[in-house]
Chains A and B, each alone.
Chain A
Amino acid sequence: MGNRCAVIGVGQTRYQTRRRDVSLAGLVREAALRALEDAGLTFADIDAVVIGKAPDLFEGVMMPEAYLADALGAAGKPVMRVHTAGSVGGSTALVGASLVQGGVHGRVLVVAFEKQSESNATWALTTHLPFNASLVVGAGGYFAPHIREYMRRSGAPDHVGTLVAVKDRRNALKNPYAHLRIPGINREMVESTPMLWEPIRYLETCPSSDGACAIVLAAEDKVTGTPAWIHGTAMRSEPIMVAGRDVVSPRAGRDCAADVYRQAGVTDPRREIDVAEVYVPFSWYEPMWLENLGFAAEGEGWKLTEAGSTALDGDTPWNASGGVLSSNPIGASGLIRFAEAALQVRGMAGEHQVEGARLALGHAYGGGAQFFAMWIVGSSKP
């Protein structure tokens, strides 16, 4: 795993539908300055900057990292961009960590963002190529059949998706950065919203957000403030169309989890991981990932959700921050998971802090559930 590396600063913008008051540069800088402030550092202390975001077609700015270098104090320093679709925020953290773990740099600033209000994600994800008959279904239309298949295989009752939608939005009410804040959110409210891509209801989907997240990573001898130590990092990918592919529980996700658990010495994730921030853009992905990540046996994930185990006061809290269901600046969403995991083990998660959290999982996935990025962070050194 290389040299020890820790998260020593976290910065987030408030996530919202439209940030009219800042440019892309102003948006990323806001998160970066907050992360630096948290670490007690300035841009001068940073050796390299790693930027992540989802497809350039979302904002129509090609190679935004070149334009954003100034805003991130990166002049004269290495700056690079990562892109692995929706998992990019997680991959960006892992690329940043690898620069420290490999001994290349002492302190790395990692920033990820999206300003979804500048265009429309469904448009940007549906590029009609000639020769094909395109159905224009967007991300929800893509994932809805996989959710239906999960429901068939597991026999999960219909209301499980609703429970996740309510649970994550209740958690969001405790997170000052969360986008969706729905006071009094309950099952009836979710169930009264229309089916957009049956079996997915409107309130079972993530919002479109503007926002940025930043973290500062440091080598052991450069740690300032309160560190969250990295105990394991893993990335995996798989082809979108391959014979025998299990789209409900992709092999890349299972392999990625096995790898990160092995590095962190985790053998029973449900018991050993105190809190998990997992990429759940559609509510049913909580039970699906509970199984894919080994928190529950195949076909049993929904039972944990139904029993309240994944609630903030449950035995294995998932998405205490409100998760992707409550805030979704796509390119940043993975990094927010990783950053929230770090906040938890640093004891700095505020109202949504899981008491005594010592080990946390950050997870992101992207593309057609093809790209996975995970890390495990802890309050003590690995």
Chain B
Amino acid sequence: MSEDLVATHVLEFPGGYTRTTGPVIGRFLTELRDRRLVGVRTAGGRVLVPPLEYDPDTGEPVTEEYVEVGPAGTVQAWAWVGSPRPGHPLDRPFAWALIRLDGADTALVHALDAGSPKALRPGMRVRPCWRAATTGHITDIECFLPEVTSLVAPVRAEYRVTPGRALTRFLEGVRDGRFVGGRCAECAAVYVPYRESCPACGSVIEEEVEVADTGTVTTFAINNLPDPRAPEVPFVSAYVLLDGADTPMITLIGGVPAHEVRQGMRVRAVWVPPEERTLSMTNVKWFEPTGEPDADLDSTGGAR
């Protein structure tokens, strides 16, 4: 068929049809214009929302008793509209939802602006969002919105951090490619990083000692859980006991596949080039194997 033989044809009654509401629907829409939701009671006592003129169960006229319902209601079921069409009430994805307003025995269909289909649950509590100007039409309710159940609370604390004298001494050493520790005169233990008091006996540590940038992996983990702030997985975080130190450092192991790292493996610090160094532990890229035979862990006291 030739494309010339396709044409658009529109049927639209000029100005729109006139629809006479009758007393029941008219009452509903009048209340709606006043931003109230009402249902009508049937002879059997049920509250129909939206109201009907005749009870669908019995065919009898409904009573003249109108009952205020809602404005909140409960979602019973829904159909998600991922790509709204021009005639739809919202220009973004939404749900057509069956909503039973509080006090009603039936559900009405309306648009539910829930953001994502994942947010929808049966039993979800929702409320109408009214248009600025109401006219007595079901679209006086622009849509329903979920009730507020959570809020985002941004919390931010900003500190000026100074490393203090002991850590500054250690970082100065790291800037120069050296690990500076402190020896406790009472316990004889060497602490790396350098610190000014002994955590075992409380003595003031006065003696600075330089320890090697080689050491032994006492134990380690292979980390497979990605984190944007962490190295690329799998990465090995290890306790390395530097030669001459009595406390291990937690550090990254590199230059070797994760599954070839061993307890007892001998490693050495890989320093970034001197021109890139700052007063920070990031001067140590990682520790990598030296190729020496493994150390006997039990003679180093294990992962202590």
Chain A residues close to B by CB (< 8 Å): 20-21, 60, 122, 126, 128-138, 140-141, 144-146, 148-149, 152-153, 194-200, 239, 241-248
Q: Is the CB of A244 within 8 A of B252?
A: no
Given contacts A141-B221, A144-B222, A152-B219, 20 further A-B contacts (CB under 8 A): A20-B150, A60-B153, A126-B229, A129-B161, A131-B167, A135-B251, A135-B252, A144-B221, A145-B239, A148-B220, A152-B263, A152-B302, A195-B222, A197-B222, A197-B223, A243-B187, A243-B304, A244-B246, A244-B301, A244-B304
Residue from the set A20, A141, A194 with the largest chain B CB neighbour count within 10 Å? A141
Distance A260 CA – B171 CA, assembled complex (angstroms): 43
Distance A140 CA – B222 CA, assembled complex (angstroms): 11
Chain B contact residues: helix, strand, loop or mixed: loop
> Which of the 9-residue segments B25-33, B62-70, B128-136, B278-286 touches chain A?
B278-286
5 pairs of A and B residues whose beta carbons are closest in the complex: A144-B221, A243-B189, A136-B230, A198-B222, A243-B246
- For window 191-230 of B, CB contacts with A under 8 Å fall at 191, 199-200, 218-225, 227, 229-230
Q: Is the CB of B225 within 8 A of A197?
A: yes
Q: Is the CB of B237 within 8 A of A145?
A: yes
Distance A318 CA – B250 CA, assembled complex (angstroms): 32
B residues within 8 A CB of A245? 247, 304
- Does B2 make an interface contact (CB < 8 A)? no
* Complex: chain B residue closest to A245, CB-CB: B304
B residues within 8 A CB of A242? 199-200, 247
Q: Is the CB of A132 within 8 A of B304?
A: no
Tell me the number of A-to-B contacts counted with CB atoms below 8 Å: 125
Chain A contact residues: helix, strand, loop or mixed: loop
Q: Residue B238 contacts which of A145, A146, A195 (CB distance < 8 angstroms)?
A: A145
Q: Is the CB of B171 within 8 A of A128?
A: no
Q: What are some 5 contacts across the A-B interface (CB < 8 A)?
A: A136-B230, A145-B220, A198-B222, A245-B247, A246-B302
Q: Is the CB of B237 within 8 A of A131?
A: no
* Complex: chain A residue closest to B249, CB-CB: A241
B260 CB, nearest partner CB in chain A, Å: 13
Contact with A along B45-58 (1 / 0, CB 8 A): 00000000000000
